[in-house]
């Protein structure tokens, strides 16, 4: 019986000069690269402000800002229900960009998890 290889793929991502190995599925590669570039820009913006210099704090502040943006978008997309953009709703034909958005958000979450896990305690 033939079996598929389940070897995890990793992608090296650089954020503010630090490299992180992030596990990914091949179908998520482009979204992960786009998310990493977006995250790098957001983190650079916060670092450029000069008030936050520690990598962990920059990552947390970036995560908070992105969470705020996401919640604002969710509320504007469906103000009555305040519902989330989920994979189920992302496949709705009335909003073709939702699948890409959900995939980018998932990729950004992966990158942020890696950044925070690699920080010294």
Of 22-31, 82-91, 96-105, give the lowest mean pLDDT range: 82-91
Identify the burial level of 31 via C-beta atoms within 10 angstroms of its C-beta, where 0-12 means exposed, 13-18 middle and 19 or more buried: buried
Helix (H) or strand (E) holding 74: helix 55-77
Q: What average pLDDT score do residues 85-102 get?
A: 56
In the predicted structure, residue 121 carries a pLDDT above the cut 60: no
Q: What is the pLDDT of residue 73?
A: 86
Helix, strand or coil, per DSSP, at residue 111: helix
HSE (CB half, 13 Å, CA atoms) of 116? 13
**The whole model's pTM is what?**
0.60
Residue 64: which of 51, 87, 72 has the closest Cα?
72
Give the Å distances, CA to CA, from 5 to 8, 10, 14: 9, 15, 27
* Domain spans, the chain: 29-117
Task: Pick 99 or 63 by higher pLDDT.
Answer: 63
Q: What is the pLDDT of residue 55?
A: 87
């Amino acid at each position: 019986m033939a079996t598929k290889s389940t070897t995890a793929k990793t992608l090296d991502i650089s954020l503010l000069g630090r490299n992180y190995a992030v596990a990914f599925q091949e179908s998520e590669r482009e979204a992960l690269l786009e998310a990493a570039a977006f995250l790098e820009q957001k983190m650079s913006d916060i670092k450029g402000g000069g008030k936050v210099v520690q990598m962990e704090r920059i990552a947390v502040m970036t995560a908070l800002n992105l969470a705020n943006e996401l919640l604002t978008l969710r509320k504007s997309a469906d103000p009555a229900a305040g519902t989330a953009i989920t994979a189920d709703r992302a496949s709705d034909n009335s909003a073709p960009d939702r699948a890409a958005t959900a995939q980018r958000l998932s990729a950004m979450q992966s990158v942020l998890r890696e950044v925070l896990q690699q920080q010294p305690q």
